[in-house]
């Protein structure tokens, strides 16, 4: 059986999908986003686990999930371990626990990736930037794979939320947020577009890993700015 490599767990998280979630943060990420707050998830090594054992652990929280809650596979990039996620699916189904996937989409669209997306109750896709140049500049990879994943989600009609982190001095203006919107508006599968504010909570991780933090002089995004940009996006998308 395929082993999963885990960074951490977060029980009863409310941010990563609908209802009460149990967050499973998988190790490994192909991107190097300048604003990453989990640089400790980049490498692929982590706490080793098997699918059955993991689902047994999760099942203890089932009474809290209610109708909508469940598991969210996050990371790092959870779909780098798509084979392990697929291995968890029958165990989750047997326990009647749904799952969501929180992904950057920066992965090859393999059969395992397709299956992991197809069986998810919800996919949360982080659309980092609006064009290829910005993707390469700020994440180290182009956006071809992310767009292919989005196209796939649209083709199977998968419920999708799109998220973008708003970083001071990079994409914190209406002019720039507007550039994300035409593509989002063209997708029927997208239920929600959510902006998240950049925060400095991950800064200490860069120090402990002795990794250079490209945004060390950047402050948290101010809440009123985030709220204004969210209202702007909602209005443009008629949501």
Tens-digit pLDDT profile for residues 46-100:
899 999 999 999 999 999 998 899 999 999 999 999 999 999 999 999 999 999 9
The whole-number pLDDT of residue 91 equals 98
Q: Which domain holds residue 145?
A: 3-236
For the chain, what is the domain count?
A: 1
Cα–Cα distance between 92 and 50 in angstroms, integer? Answer: 13
Residue 29's closest CA among 97, 84, 79? Answer: 79
**What CATH number did the domain enclosing 210 receive?**
3.20.20.70
Tens-digit pLDDT profile for residues 171-190:
999 999 999 999 999 999 99
The whole-number pLDDT of residue 15 equals 67
Q: Is the pLDDT of residue 14 over 70?
A: no
Cα–Cα distance between 27 and 7 in angstroms, integer? Answer: 5
Cβ of 157: how many Cβ atoms within 10 Å? 9
Tens-digit pLDDT profile for residues 108-167:
999 999 999 999 999 999 999 999 999 999 999 999 999 999 999 999 999 999 999 999
Residue 96: left if φ>0, alpha if ψ -120 to 50, beta else—which one? Answer: left
Predicted structure pTM score: 0.95
Percent of the chain having pLDDT more than 90?
A: 90
């Amino acid at each position: 059986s395929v082993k999963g490599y885990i960074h951490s767990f977060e029980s009863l998280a409310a941010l990563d999908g609908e209802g009460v979630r149990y967050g499973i943060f998988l190790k490994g990420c192909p991107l190097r986003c300048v604003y990453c707050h989990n640089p400790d998830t980049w490498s692929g090594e982590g706490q080793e686990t098997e699918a059955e054992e993991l689902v047994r652990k999760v099942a203890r929280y089932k009474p809290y999930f209610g109708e909508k809650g469940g598991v969210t596979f996050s990371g790092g990039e959870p779909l780098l371990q798509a084979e392990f996620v697929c291995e968890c699916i029958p165990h989750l189904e047997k326990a009647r626990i749904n799952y969501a996937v929180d992904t950057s989409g920066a992965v090859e669209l393999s059969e395992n990736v397709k299956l992991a997306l197809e069986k998810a109750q919800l996919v949360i896709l982080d659309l980092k930037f609006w064009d290829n140049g910005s993707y390469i500049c700020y994440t180290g990879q182009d956006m071809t794979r992310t767009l292919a994943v989005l196209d796939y989600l649209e083709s199977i009609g998968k419920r999708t939320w799109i998220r973008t982190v708003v970083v001071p001095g990079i994409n914190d203006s209406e002019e720039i947020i507007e550039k994300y919107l035409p593509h989002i508006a063209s997708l029927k599968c997208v239920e929600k577009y959510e902006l998240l504010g950049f925060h400095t909570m991950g800064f200490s991780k860069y120090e402990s890993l002795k990794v250079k933090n490209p945004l060390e002089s950047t402050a948290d995004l101010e809440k009123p700015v985030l709220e204004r940009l969210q209202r702007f996006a909602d209005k443009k998308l008629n949501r």
